[in-house]
Chains A and B, each alone.
Chain A
Amino acid sequence: MTTGNGQLDLPYLRAKLTDRRGQLYWRSLEELAETDAFQEFLYREFPQQSDRWTDPIGRRRFLHLMGASLALAGLAGCTKQPAEPIMPYVNAPEEIIPGKPLFFATAALLSGVAEGVLVENHMGRPTKVEGNPEHPASLGATDVFAQASILTLYDPDRSQTITQFGEIRSWSAFLSEMREAVQRFKQNKGSGLRILTETVTSPTLASQLKKLLSDYPSAKWHQYEPVGRDPARAGARLAFGTDVAARYHLEKANVVLSLDADFLSTGPGKLRYVRDFTARRKVHQSQREMNRLYVLESTPSNTGAMADHRLPLKASEVEGFALALAAELGIAWRVEIPAKLPGSTWVGPLARDLKRHPAATIVIPGEHQPPLVHALAHAMNHTLGNVGSTVIYTEPVEANPVDQFESLRELVREMQSGSVETLLIFGGNPVFAAPVDIPFADALAKVKQRVYLGLYNDETSELCHWHIPEAHSLESWTDARAYDGTVTILQPLIAPLYGGKTAHELMAALTDQSEQSSYEGVRQYWSSQFTRIPVMVSGARSSSAVCQKASGDFEEFWRKSLHDGFVANSALPAKPVALTAQPAVLRTDATTPGLELIFRPDPHVYDGQFANNGWLQELPKPHTRLTWDNAALISPATAERMGMTNEELVELRFQGRRVEAPAWILPGHPDDSVTIHLGYGRRRTGRVGMGAGFNAYAVRTSGAAWFGSGLSLSKTGRRSRLACTQHHHSMEGRHPVRAGTLEDYHRHPDFVREMGEEPPKDLSLYPERKYKGNAWGMVIDLSSCTGCNACTIACQAENNIAVVGREQVIIGREMHWIRVDRYYAGGLENPATYHQPIPCMQCENAPCEVVCPVNATAHSQEGLNDMVYNRCVGTRYCANNCPYKVRRFNFLLYSDWETPSLKLGRNPDVTVRSRGVMEKCTYCVQRINAVKIEAEREGREIRDGEIATACEAVCPAEAITFGNINDPNSRVAQLKANKLNYGLLSELQTRPRTTYLAALKNPNPEMKTS
């Protein structure tokens, strides 16, 4: 099974894989190999991680567990409840009906770019984020960060007081100090005043900054963001000589080529792109054809998982490939094709396929690829006639695009020279996230007056004199642009919990009107600007008419913009651009030998700003399914060569710097390169994120911001355990994911059904149930699911699901009600990847129901498996007997019953589960009941789509459909009638209400699939 010192015997694995007949699925390498780790654990009687006492959480909780368990005993029935007070309003606000949520439109920000959202608000407490269906960047979906922002808002670890040198100070004290400073600036024209922001798209903030710079001409504004878009900007300048942003219309594209671009899960437009892209893959609807996606990638991504053809390449090799392809397509420029060309077999067929669809293809360059790749992509899109149809260029959405590394370097240079007296840092965490070759932290010591506006008491606040708690975006008035430039005016959902301030208020403090609130600031700006909104060229939205009228009346404009969640027609218009004659360098050095290191923002912790968010920390990362940690991802072959195994600590030496990281073997990862994720290894943050993972910034230089060669690996011989939520790989010939090609489907549509067996309905001892009225059901489309995990975290937010912590995840006790399983098919080097979301199947013959001794889980009249927490005694028999293993047990008191701020954020319509209770997905029964009552009162039927479960609502791919299967016209009923529809483990006669649509791929017949 495994060779001597516990290292994976990959040839053996390959053999094991190849001699399997049919499509073979497998998950992680451990169990395929039955590594020593297993044997080890087998013979150890007391594995340390199974002992609660070595677990800090366990210890910390012991006392209040005692309290809680006694309290629970109190709930046991025969005791009477204590008298509770009711406190009515003194003056009731009209719009609030107690117990009914209100929804307000605002936006979630990531890297300063807006994503329109609607926030559910219970009696003044925001509890849940939903997408804004009207907003172009959201269309009703959100990403995991927007979902988790609720938790950050209520995070008890956020900094809560203004401090100076660690002493608590008042806002007025700060203002008075600023006033002195302002006097100084007035005399010296603000020389020595520097402002460091993240990427700014906020028109208001931008104008405030510009005004400041005009008042104090010698002041300077710098921008730095660890996950910036510098290469894209440079690429645009290289191709067009001017700074433009590309926007894609995937709904029009028949063929899409990604040059190491993970456009489905990163970048500001991702939600819209996923929607448009997957719309072209749903063959079950009226359309019979699919788009085709080619992906070259340097590290496995969700985009790669969706690909019909995927080619793993070292990051540095993409350039060469792009050159070759560009030449093949015959772009206007003269290019040099490198002698040694990886993936050369692709060039011919790919070029032909692209040419076959004039003006209906897209070449998307990876954000982290060098400018040349971007330039070539632009050129190719031109040659393919895509510009204007599938690709349009606009002004950049950033208020003031700069090369951010340059900007930071310049700032640091000045700081070192001592010419910076006052430095205001607006958000971000530069001390932690600055590249190592730019010594920001050291230089900071030379600044006389340092002010830091930030959410957390972090690495940067530590080195600043003043730390002003920042208001969370759900607490503040501000504005921001979406990926297409559409402006959203953000309105606060709640008054700042911890007295946070916004950048606008800080800016005001630097002027004479230092008391100006951010509300006034934003309003003031728009009252002067709202008439000058650029009118969209393409596809003016219905609301445009209104806007024209609005251009007269500000109040109406203001109210409408707040209500809709965006400023109508504020999207940036297309901008005509022309390719430059011939860029200087159109060649690349032959691919560098040796190991390459790749940096990526962490899929869930991002650049580190979400490190203290338990929901995101515990969300299993795509592909690796790791939680609470980052790791050094390497390909099986490389691991084999280096003799490395999972969880083994390796030392990465990169360009003279070193960091230690646990290795994780990731199938499909290109050989000779290692991927590490940014954002971990926080030295100073809240209780949640402290000490998780390793700090990838420690080896990141501005020169090699995204990848670079010259990496060397060495084993340390030590191991560190990683909390992975899925260990197994092999379907053992089973077919939970049924997959095929579009060709199969057209030729023989029944192939899906034939992959499993459906026993006759009457094959049950129990009498057949009749479902009068509604019968709820769900369909999940595996061709559309990108595995973005949004459903998991949306469910967590909606249903008050607890975070259990690293130690508990390691033992396998995570609580997610809907998990996303990941299966591989094919070889180790370049497997096809499938994602399969698994909620409760709500079986009609539910194995869980018959075995519960106390009736705590019972069948509802509408076919749900109701789970009654207050009835459950926790025998765990139901979980044992559930073939899908979707039931989750509160082995310890996981829900936080103490922290007041967290209580505010909970969904009041869902019970907070206590210790010793089983829980599971209920199809968001609280939402079902709410709508049912509404409909009953109005004496009407429930409309199809009126009820959206949390997972359905959040899904950008519209992969999840929920509805009444008794209504033949409902979307869900029609999908279930489709030939691609199949029930998971239907051979067990459980008759699941949740079913799946088989995953279809659309490979190019010219290229034989890997």
Chain B
Amino acid sequence: MPQIFHRSTNTFSKLSIFGAVFVIAGLLIVVMAINRSGYVTQAGVTREQPVPFSHQHHVAAMGIDCRYCHTTVENAAVASIPPTKTCMNCHSQIWSASPTLEPVRASFRADQSIRWTKVHDLPDFAYFNHSIHVNKGIGCSTCHGRVDRMPLVWQHASLQMEWCLDCHRHPERYVRPRDQVFNMEYEAPANQLILGKRLIQEYKIQSLTSCSTCHR
């Protein structure tokens, strides 16, 4: 009887059967890669801002402390974005004519907030509190990266749950002395784990992994 299929079909069928495993595995890997990539997490993506505010300039060059603008970081859940007034403290004097700063002056004149774009945006069901982390020796740069090297701020970490849990499960890997919290240059020492364990004792750091720690 006539052949329905060309003989090459055999090879194809064999291939497809054995290949299937690898294809599926490959797909899985790809999806996982995508889900952790900046495309989804937004990590490493610089955001357009109404005013091209440069942390690099203000922090590294001017040497302004984080807390000068982010006033509530030590005693509230949010670090808080500075009011226009804070900008004007200096910029009513220096660069008071610079066109790039016009939106700031406009905001101050019209008593209208500047509409910044949020860079670190946790989902609304995650309740993060800056003050407790800062007070327990978690440095700014641990989560926000070297902000002092960012002309425009981008999100440093993935902010995915596994990333949070990594530290909540092993705080010793990340804690630093309280006096180093706002130090951008701080590098973890070689004996971080020993140091970490000591600080955990000292600061009574608990490894809080209960759901209600962050979700309510």
Contacts and interface: CB of A to CB of B under 8 A. Distances in A.
A88 B47 contact: no
Given A936-B136, A936-B204, A939-B204, A88 B212 contact: no
Contacts of B77: 98-100
A911 B132 contact: no
Grouping DSSP codes into helix (H, G, I), strand (E, B) and loop, the B interface class, with mixed when no group exceeds half, is loop
Interface string A90-126: 1110000111100000000000000000000000000
Given A89-B83, A936-B135, A937-B131, A870 B113 contact: no
A128 B101 CA distance: 40
A100 B76 contact: yes
Contacts of A877: none
Contacts of A99: 72, 76-78
A926 B206 CA distance: 18
Contacts of A861: 206, 208-210
Contact of B72 (A97, A859, A866): A97
Interface string A379-405: 000000000000000000000000000
Most buried by B among A85, A90, A870: A90
B132 A937 contact: yes
Given A99-B78, A866-B211, A84 B118 contact: yes
B84 A90 contact: yes
Interface stretch (A75-83, A234-242, A674-682): A75-83
Interface residues of B, number: 47
Contacts of B123: 75, 81, 870
Contacts, number: 131
Nearest to B126: A870
A91 B216 contact: no
B107 interface: yes
B40 interface: yes
A868 interface: yes
A83 B211 contact: no
Nearest to A92: B83
B58 interface: no
A88 B114 contact: yes
Contacts of B216: 909-911, 922, 925-926, 929
Interface in A928-943: 928-929, 933, 936-937, 939
A80 B80 contact: no
B6 interface: no
A929 B47 CA distance: 32
Contacts of B82: 88
Interface in A916-958: 922, 925-926, 928-929, 933, 936-937, 939
A519 interface: no
Contacts of B125: 869-870, 911
Interface string A299-327: 00000000000000000000000000000
Contacts of A867: 211
Given A83-B118, A85-B115, A911 B124 contact: yes
B215 interface: yes
B181 to A, nearest CB: 13
Contacts of B81: 86, 88
A862 interface: yes
Nearest to B209: A861
A133 to B, nearest CB: 25
Contact of B85 (A90, A100, A910): A90
A97 B135 CA distance: 17
Contacts of B80: 88, 97-98
Contact of A868 (B41, B117, B118, B215): B215
B85 A929 contact: no
A756 B35 CA distance: 54
A92 B82 CA distance: 8
A352 interface: no
Chain A interface residue number, banded: 35 or more
A911 B118 contact: no
A346 B13 CA distance: 98
A936 B125 CA distance: 23
A532 to B, nearest CB: 42
Interface centre among B108, B125, B136 (most CB of A within 10 A): B125
A87 B115 contact: yes
Interface string B63-95: 000000000100111101111110000000000
Given A83-B118, A84-B121, A869 B215 contact: yes
A91 B77 CA distance: 20
A182 B168 CA distance: 71
A85 B211 contact: no
B118 A85 contact: yes
A264 B216 CA distance: 35
B192 interface: no
B9 interface: no
Contacts of B42: 80-81
Interface string A858-874: 11111010111111000
Contacts of B124: 911
Contact of A871 (B47, B112, B215): B215
A934 to B, nearest CB: 9
Given A871-B215, A911-B215, A90 B76 contact: no
Interface string B39-71: 111100001000000000000000000000000
Given A90-B108, A860-B210, A866-B211, A937 B135 contact: yes
Contacts of B180: none
B213 interface: yes
Given A84-B118, A85-B118, A99-B77, A90 B215 contact: no
Contacts of A929: 127, 129, 212-213, 216
Contacts of B111: 90-91
B163 interface: no
B83 A91 contact: yes
B116 interface: yes
Contacts of A911: 124-125, 215-216
A864 B208 CA distance: 13
A862 B78 CA distance: 25
A85 B212 contact: no
B83 A866 contact: no
Contacts of A87: 113-116
B84 A81 contact: no
A925 B115 contact: no
B75 A866 contact: no
Contacts of A859: 210
Given A90-B113, A99-B78, A78 B40 contact: yes
A92 B88 CA distance: 13
Interface in B178-216: 204, 206, 208-213, 215-216
Contacts of A80: 39-42
A83 B76 CA distance: 23
Given A98-B72, A911-B125, A925-B212, A90 B115 contact: no
A458 to B, nearest CB: 37
Given A80-B42, A870-B125, A911-B124, A936 B114 contact: no
B118 A866 contact: no
A870 B115 CA distance: 29
A926 B81 CA distance: 24
Which 8 residue pairs across A and B have the least CB separation, nearest first? A860-B210, A87-B113, A866-B211, A99-B77, A88-B81, A89-B83, A870-B125, A866-B212
Given A99-B76, A858-B210, 8 more contacts: A85-B116, A86-B117, A87-B113, A90-B83, A90-B112, A871-B211, A929-B212, A937-B132
16 contacts: A81-B42, A81-B121, A85-B118, A88-B113, A90-B84, A90-B85, A90-B112, A99-B76, A99-B77, A773-B206, A858-B211, A861-B209, A870-B123, A871-B215, A929-B127, A929-B213
Interface of B: 35, 39-42, 47, 72, 75-78, 80-85, 107-108, 111-118, 121, 123-125, 127, 129, 131-132, 135-136, 204, 206, 208-213, 215-216
Interface of A: 75, 78, 80-81, 83-92, 97-100, 773, 858-862, 864, 866-871, 909-911, 922, 925-926, 928-929, 933, 936-937, 939
